[in-house]
Amino acid sequence: MKYYYDLHMHSCLSPCGDEDMTPNNIVGMSKLLGLNVIALTDHNSVLNCEAVMKLGIENDLCVIPGMELTTMEEIHVVCLFPTFEKALEFNNYVKEHQMQIKNRPDIYGRQVIMNENDEEIDEVENLLILATDISVMNVKELVESFDGVCYPAHINRDSMSIISSLGGIPPECGFKTAEISSSGNVDELKKAHPILNDMLIIRDSDAHYLQNMKDAENFFELDEISIECVLKKLKNES
């Protein structure tokens, strides 16, 4: 069956995420758009995933806990996990490997943690968008040690992408999947970077605002919809 996905979006926890990106609004909009599976991937944090996952269960929406990690090379990598517990373990590891600089809400925006009732329960003090000391060359192995799957984000963009930073996708990274944004041209990318011919290419919205979320267009062919099945698909193993 076809199951429609969007595996890269941000909540009000991301400093650049709109305050309207609350757990209930994200789940409600996902259902309106016809999505079957989503992943919440805030910058260097998973702390709003639990609330969105709870709402997903109530609304027949598969929600994968995740994070958009910023590597030491300032490359964005989407990291997805089988459970919130594993995601939280990774979150705690990342926190130890990131610069601890206080957020300036007046400049970057607030970093709000919410429960499933869209009630503010906390606010992250340190700025989440800063780079970690984790190299893109090691990130796949690291994420897999937490039972997760990862892939380079928005590879067609001119900033914060593996291609813009390194000029290509080094085979040594071991990535099996890559993400392009909605405007990306797959054929042109494959021509310029032949390594992509052997990779699974997916499209996500990277939504920071409700209006940035996309209609259900991109899908996986799966026997059933579950976090396990989606992660297995993203591993792209023969």
What is the set of domains in the chain, with CATH numbers?
2-235 (3.20.20.140)
- Taking only the tens of pLDDT, the chain with its 238 residues reads 999 999 999 999 999 889 999 999 999 999 999 999 999 999 999 999 999 999 999 999 999 999 999 999 999 999 999 999 999 999 999 999 999 999 999 999 999 999 999 999 999 999 999 999 999 999 999 999 999 999 999 999 999 999 999 999 999 999 999 999 988 899 999 999 999 999 999 999 999 999 999 999 999 999 999 999 999 999 998 6
* Spatial CA neighbour of 17 closest among 47, 51, 42: 42
Identify the residue whose tokens are 């290419």: 201
| Cβ–Cβ < 8 Å for 4, 37 | yes
Between CA 33 and CA 177 the distance in angstroms is 24
